[in-house]
């Protein structure tokens, strides 16, 4: 395959997050989920050690796609409409985890926290030295974000999976978006959009006191 072929579609995935935000700063659910599906496709190329992560992400994406295709699909067009609908209909459980049915607000919060990890990881990948280890970058970004919400056993399993990651140079090559310099440039283009989606979601959840949903 010629150099630069975006065989994993990562360029398209990262640009998808750019199409999440509307002119009035609302986050569109469909491209948000498409972005995550693309990231999971890439995750699935990294081996069986990551399958428990992929399974959880796929399950959460499926919950949201069910909302987007269900009777109330019009209320799930944006994260803002989802929050308004679920809060005004008392569908969000502020006390019990895993209450049924699992709310969209709770499910998106888990993906939102993972988006923070992604932001930190991609920035680390973009700015680190050529001889850096992706495992260290991934561990550091995980410990600064998602790890704060996971029990010991999950943190242990995650750190074991991270240990199998290659060097930064090999990881950038595996992204299949061109030379390493082109991959770094693509990360620089994509990161501001990912950060914007993260910040808009963070302030939406903070405004409605949803950041600590169990």
Ligand X SMILES: CCCCCCCC/C=C\CCCCCCCC(=O)N[C@@H](COP(=O)(O)O)[C@H](O)/C=C/CCCCCCCCCCCCC
Nearer to ligand X by Cβ, of 11 and 23: the residue is 11
| Interaction pattern, residues 3-22, with ligand X; x per rule: CB under 6 A | -------x------------
Is there binding between residue 191 and ligand X (CB under 6 A)?
A: no
Rule CB under 6 A: choose which of 29, 40, 79, 184 binds ligand X. Answer: 40
Of 23-31, 49-57, 87-95, 203-211, which segment contacts ligand X by CB under 6 A?
Answer: 49-57
Three-state DSSP string of the chain = CCCCCCCCCHHHHHHHHHHHECCCCCEEHHHHHHHHHHHHHHHHHHCHHHHHHHHHHHHHHHHHHHHHHCCCHHHHCEHHHHHHHHHHCCCCCCCCCCCCCCCHHHHHHHHHHHHHHHHHHHHHHHHCCCCCEHHHHHHHHHHCCHHHHCCHHHHHHHHHHHCCCCEHHHHHHHCCCCCHHHHHHHHHHHHHHHHHHHHHHHHHHHHCCCCCCC
Nearer to ligand X by Cβ, of 76 and 117: the residue is 117
Question: Closest distance between ligand X and the C-beta of residue 18, in Å?
Answer: 14
Is there binding between residue 42 and ligand X (CB under 6 A)?
A: yes
Question: Closest distance between ligand X and the C-beta of residue 23, in Å?
Answer: 26
Q: Which residues bind ligand X (CB under 6 A)?
A: 10, 39-40, 42-43, 46, 50, 52-53, 56-57, 110, 113-114, 117, 122, 138, 142, 146, 150, 154, 158, 175
């Amino acid at each position: 395959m010629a150099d630069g072929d975006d065989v994993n579609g990562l360029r398209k995935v990262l640009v998808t997050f750019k199409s999440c935000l509307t002119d009035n700063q609302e986050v569109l659910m469909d491209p948000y989920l498409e972005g995550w599906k693309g990231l999971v496709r890439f995750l699935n190329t990294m081996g069986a050690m990551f399958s428990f992560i992929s399974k959880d992400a796929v399950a959460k994406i499926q919950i949201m796609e069910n909302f987007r295709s269900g009777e109330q699909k019009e209320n799930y067009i944006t994260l803002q409409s989802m929050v308004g609908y679920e809060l005004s209909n008392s569908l969000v459980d502020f006390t019990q985890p895993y209450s049924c049915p699992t709310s969209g607000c709770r499910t998106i919060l888990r993906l939102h926290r993972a988006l923070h990890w992604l932001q930190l990881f991609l920035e680390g990948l973009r700015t680190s030295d050529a001889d850096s280890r992706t495992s260290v970058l991934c561990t550091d970004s995980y410990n600064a974000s998602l790890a704060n919400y996971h029990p010991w056993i999950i943190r242990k399993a995650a750190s074991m999976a991270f240990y199998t990651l290659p060097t930064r140079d090999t990881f950038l090559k595996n992204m299949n978006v061109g030379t390493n310099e082109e991959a770094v440039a693509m990360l620089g283009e994509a990161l501001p959009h990912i950060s914007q989606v993260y910040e808009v979601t963070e302030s939406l959840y903070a405004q409605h006191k949803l950041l600590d949903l169990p």
